[in-house]
Copies of this chain bind each other. A is one copy, B any other.
């Protein structure tokens, strides 16, 4: 068989475009308000099982410690369950569970409602753990100052070719589960860096393992620097 079949637009794409216009305006307002009140917000995206919750726990440990401890809150989005929200709570971190009722991404209305649920409490850093999905969340601005995506070693480096939109919109790519690299000799880290930067020349790339701690201090320092640049910039 030669050649492929290319789709015209799905009806759902037209509708999404309308929704996105409203969403982007609300996101810009929310982002400015958080900058003004000193809350640095970061959106964490990636496939199911990419290791978002584990990375978050390892990151928070580093942000709350050291010479300049930061306060942290988490918005934990899930389709239905509270599995991840409970893990965050068990670590003693203030969190709000955002249940999208099956929706595949987080929209601004959801972020505003979750943020309001914290009441008067304010934090130096607030993280949004997005829905596990390498496709849809890329389209929806969540009003955060920084967006990062995770790609785990077991998923395979070729995801950069197959799911380019998310690689193109984030500020950083965090390659997770790097302790799996010896088991994945086909994982071509160099090709991943090259292809990701071709999509997004300003992209920062980190290689970490939340399990062993490898690379986590460097990533945590980058998050601190982004926060400083945002709220004091």
Contacts and interface: CB of A to CB of B under 8 A. Distances in A.
A interface: dominant SS? mixed
A85 B1 CA distance: 11
Interface string A68-110: 0000000000111111110001000011111111111001011
Given A4-B96, A134-B132, A78 B48 contact: no
A21 interface: no
Given A12-B19, A94-B1, A99-B7, A83 B152 contact: no
Interface string A1-18: 101111101111101100
Copies in the complex: 2
Interface string A118-142: 1000000000000111111000000
B98 A7 contact: yes
Given A1-B94, A131-B135, 10 more contacts: A1-B95, A3-B97, A5-B97, A5-B110, A10-B100, A10-B109, A47-B47, A80-B161, A80-B164, A133-B136
20 contacts: A3-B117, A4-B98, A5-B117, A6-B99, A7-B110, A7-B113, A11-B19, A12-B19, A12-B103, A47-B47, A47-B132, A49-B155, A102-B135, A104-B104, A104-B133, A132-B134, A133-B133, A136-B136, A154-B155, A154-B177
